[in-house]
């Protein structure tokens, strides 16, 4: 279902809170079908993101170490994604 969500377990260094929250947000967007937030759906959407973020954080902390690192790099660790985020932030300032 969510084939584009990157594996976070076994990353070196470990997944950051920002990476976990981004994965949770992507998951909630996928299962809810919501791409743009409105006043009517913002609160339940953000609550769901917080719940999934917390559950994912607990899960990653409880699982044993991986023998092999994940095959893909999380988007927030990719230079081209970081550059795109920085450019978007600069243009909105």
Domain count, the chain: 1
Instruction: Give the model's pLDDT for residue 52.
Output: 98
Structure confidence by residue, pLDDT tens digits, 37-92: 999 999 999 999 999 999 999 999 999 988 887 777 777 777 887 788 788 888 88
Instruction: Give domain status of residue 25, yes or no.
Output: yes
Instruction: Give the model's pLDDT for residue 1.
Output: 45
Instruction: Give the model's pLDDT for residue 2.
Output: 54
- pTM equals 0.76
Instruction: Give domain status of residue 79, yes or no.
Output: yes
Instruction: Give domain status of residue 78, yes or no.
Output: yes
Instruction: Give domain status of residue 84, yes or no.
Output: yes
User: Distances in Å between the alpha carbon of 92 and those of 45, 62, 80, 83, 86?
Assistant: 23, 39, 19, 14, 10
Instruction: Give domain status of residue 81, yes or no.
Output: yes
Instruction: Give the model's pLDDT for residue 3.
Output: 62
Cα–Cα dist 63/10, whole Å:
10
- DSSP track, 24-57: HHHHHHHHH---S--TTTHHHHHHHHHHHHHHHH
Instruction: Give domain status of residue 45, yes or no.
Output: yes
């Amino acid at each position: 279902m969510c084939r584009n969500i990157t594996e976070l377990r076994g990353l070196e260094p470990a997944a950051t809170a920002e990476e976990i929250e981004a994965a949770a947000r992507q998951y909630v967007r996928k299962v809810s079908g919501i791409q743009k937030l409105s006043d009517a759906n913002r609160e339940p959407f953000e609550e769901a993101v917080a719940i999934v973020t917390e559950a994912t954080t607990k899960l990653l902390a409880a699982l044993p170490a991986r023998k092999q690192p994940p095959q893909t790099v999380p988007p927030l660790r990719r230079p081209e994604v970081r550059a795109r985020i920085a450019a978007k932030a600069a243009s909105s300032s």
